[in-house]
Amino acid sequence: MEQLKTAAAVFCTACICAELVGQLLGDTRGRRCIKGAAGLYILLALFHALPALQSDAAGFTPPQTAAESYGTAQQMILAQAQTDLAARLEEQIGRQTGLDVSLTVTLEADGGAVRAARVYAALAPGLDPGRQAAARRQVGGLLEEALALGGDGVVWAGAPGGG
């Protein structure tokens, strides 16, 4: 490695000298000769250093890191489908009822079929407490109809017993 550093230093010095010769004398042929000789010196130093570099490279081992697990492709697709479905349902409920609802949909894969197992829902804060029960019934009915959920398929945030 030390040979390569020396060769690089010699090449840089030769290039500077070649430029000075070219500027002072206006001789482009001399500049080319100096750069050519310096380039040959670099190649010679590189060929002498290659065996040492190969032996150093043979002993190199990359650092060992633990592989990250992102799950199977099916799990990743299911997670993306849950996110997309929740966003679409939030938008649809907002259009139909005028309510701002936050949803988290949980999907389950049964063999080859996928079904909605549970929906966690939360109404936007600031809704009149007297209107909350009616809003929950309305949104719960829409969710149960859209996703074919049973009576306990919708879990409300902040509601006693989840329902």
Same domain for 54 and 80, yes or no, is no
Residue 59, pLDDT above cutoff 70: no
Residue 8 located in a structural domain: yes
Residue 161, pLDDT above cutoff 60: no
Same domain for 44 and 92, yes or no, is no
Same domain for 140 and 105, yes or no, is yes
- CA 65 – CA 135 distance, rounded (Å): 51
Strand stretches in the chain, DSSP E: 101-110, 113-123, 154-156
Same domain for 124 and 54, yes or no, is no
Residue 63 located in a structural domain: no
Same domain for 87 and 125, yes or no, is yes
Residue 102 located in a structural domain: yes
- CA 52 – CA 48 distance, rounded (Å): 8
Residue in the block written with tokens 């407490």: 129
Same domain for 77 and 54, yes or no, is no
Same domain for 94 and 150, yes or no, is yes
**Could you tell me which residue, 124 or 55, shows the higher pLDDT?**
124
How many domains does the structure of the chain reveal?
2
Each residue of 138-159: pLDDT tens digit?
998 888 888 888 777 888 886 5
Q: What type of residue sits at position 34? A: I
Each residue of 65-98: pLDDT tens digit?
666 666 778 888 888 999 999 999 999 999 998 8
What mean pLDDT do residues 20-40 have?
Answer: 74
For residue 51, the enclosing domain spans 2-58
Nearest residue to 122 via CA among 108, 105, 110? 105
Q: What are the structure tokens assigned to 82, written together? A: 């849950």
Same domain for 81 and 130, yes or no, is yes
Residue 37 located in a structural domain: yes
Counting Cα atoms < 13 Å in the Cβ hemisphere of 138 gives: 15
Output the DSSP codes for 20-37: HHHHHH--HHHHHHHHHH
Same domain for 83 and 116, yes or no, is yes
CATH of the domain at 154: 3.30.300.30
3-state helix, strand and coil shares in percent for the chain, rounded to the nearest 5: 65, 15, 25
Write down the pTM of the prediction: 0.54
Q: How confident is the model at residue 61 (pLDDT cuts 50, 70, 90)?
A: low
Same domain for 37 and 83, yes or no, is no
